[in-house]
């Protein structure tokens, strides 16, 4: 939720960047169903998605598609964070 991100940024006392991992409901459901012994049961997915607030354009956030491979997601996140760090001193 945006209110949580704002609370984190206030508590940090400095700019905070967020990486928002986005994926289709179907992909999320498949991945959750494939987990063994995970704390989040698949039945909670719809309620979690209903309360999700995607980052607004005024937030320091990068949205990445989880359909990409982990290596690509990490590379994109690191490149974005380095660019953010370089532009803010």
Q: Is the pLDDT of residue 71 over 70?
A: yes
Q: Nearest 5°: CA angle at 56, between 7 and 74? A: 85
Contact 20, 64 (CB under 8 A): yes
End-to-end Cα, the chain, rounded Å: 28
Q: Which of 1, 3, 19 is nearest to 11 (CA)?
A: 3
Q: What is the pLDDT of residue 45?
A: 87
Statement: the pTM of the whole predicted model exceeds 0.85: no
């Amino acid at each position: 939720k945006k209110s949580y991100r704002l609370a984190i940024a206030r508590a940090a006392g400095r700019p905070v960047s967020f990486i928002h991992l986005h994926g289709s409901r179907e992909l999320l459901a498949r991945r959750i169903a494939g987990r063994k012994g995970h704390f989040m049961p698949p039945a909670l997915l719809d309620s979690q998605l209903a309360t999700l607030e995607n980052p607004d354009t005024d937030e320091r956030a990068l949205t990445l598609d989880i359909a990409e491979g982990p290596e690509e997601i990490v590379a994109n996140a690191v490149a974005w964070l380095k660019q953010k760090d370089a532009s803010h001193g």
